[in-house]
A and B are shown apart, each in its own frame.
Chain A
Amino acid sequence: MFVILGDDGILFSLKMSNFFQIIKKEKIAPNGFLFRIKAPEVALHAKPGQFFVLRVNERGERIPLTLVRWNRRSGTIDFAFQVIGKTTHLLSKLKEGDFLKDVLGPLGRPSEIKYYGTVALLAGGFGAAAMLPIANALKEAGNNLVTILGARSKDYLILEKELRRLSSKIYVMTDDGSYGIKGFVKDGLEMASREYDIAHAYVIGPAIMMKFTVAACQELGIPNTVSLNPIMVDATGMCGSCRVNVGGKTYFACVDGPEFDGSQVDWNLLLNRLSAYLNEEKHSYELFLKKKGVLPRGKEKKA
Chain B
Amino acid sequence: MELKERISILEALLLVSPKPLKINQVMEICQDGDQKGWEEALSFLEKHFNEEHNGIMLQRVATGIRLITKPQMEEYVKSFYQKNLKHNFSRAAFEVLAIIAYNQPITIPEINAIRGISSGGVIKTLLEKKMIKITGRKNVVGKPFLFGTTEEFLIRFGLNSLKDLPKIEEFNALEAE
A binds B: no
Binding site for B on A (CB under 8 A): none
